[in-house]
Amino acid sequence: MKTVAIVGGGPIQYIPDLVSESASLWIGADSGAQFLVEHGLPVDIAIGDFDSISETMFKKIKDRAGKTEVFPAAKDETDLELALQEAVRQEADSILLYGVTGGRMDHTLANIQLLHSIAHHGVNATIVDSQNEMELKLPGHYRIKHSTNYPYVSFIPISLKVEGLTLEGFKYALKDRQVPIGSTLCLSNEISDDSGAYSFEDGIVLVVRSRDEKNL
């Protein structure tokens, strides 16, 4: 399985420790490439407009990176979207995204929505920060393992409604339920055994695994 790790330019306090993270390919999106350089992590590909990076740091990035792709600042895609497109071209089986939450809320929300296009490519993409793991799921059947690091599991409708949502092996079970957008019905659930299962027939669900800040 080919796992591609992408680091964006979000606030670094939201980025977990990546030293022990294993990935087949590392992509730095804009100032995310600077984070990789400064933390001694691989930089296989650096991509973006690099308009927020000093000339000295940009030179360091080019010296370290296996490949550097520079785009104009005025463009239709964000640097992160370009990085995701590159990950798909690299035939990623799964994508881990760091440094894409916190700070500006418009960026965070847009980055979460980018998971939708990746899901349609059949690639599993996960946003990871210091307190959360987020995946966007299309209709189907899924199994999820219990995690002491992220004890809470929330199922948030991203479409106008989710049809036939069923949760099994959870503290709060659900059977063939319609859940509309804006509902808080499926927040802060917990897996009651080693694993749980969930399924739904129509709609889009954001699955958020999280922990309280006091448990960091």
How close are the terminal C-alpha atoms of the chain, in Å?
A: 30
Both 104 and 39 in a single domain? yes
Average pLDDT, the chain: 95
Q: Put residue 18 in one of left, alpha, beta given phi > 0 → left and psi -120 to 50 → alpha.
A: alpha
Mean pLDDT of 99-123: 93
Q: Domain span at residue 61?
A: 3-130
Among 96, 130, 164, where does a domain finish? 130
CA atoms of 201 and 139, how far apart (whole Å): 5
According to the model, what pLDDT value does residue 20 have? 80
What is the number of domains present in the chain? 2
CATH number for the domain that contains residue 195: 3.40.50.10240
- Can you give the pLDDT at residue 213? 80
Same structural domain, 38 and 106: yes
State yes or no: pLDDT of 216 exceeds 90.
Answer: no
Interval 37-96: pLDDT, tens: 999 999 999 999 998 899 999 999 999 999 999 999 889 999 999 999 999 999 999 999
End-of-domain residue from the set 71, 101, 130: 130
Burial classification of residue 55, based on how many CB atoms lie within 10 Å of its CB (0-12 exposed, 13-18 middle, 19 or more buried): exposed
123 & 141 share domain: no
> Based on the domain organization, do 16 and 92 belong to the same domain?
yes
| pLDDT of 25 above 90 | yes
Cβ partners under 8 Å of residue 58, min gap 6: 50
214: confidence class by pLDDT, cuts 50, 70, 90 = low
**Residues 174-206: pLDDT tens digits?**
999 999 999 999 999 999 989 999 999 999 999
Question: Does residue 117 register a pLDDT over 90?
Answer: no
Would you state the pLDDT for residue 82? Answer: 96
121 lies in the same domain as 159:
no
The whole-model pTM stands at: 0.93
198 in Cβ contact with 167 (< 8 Å): yes
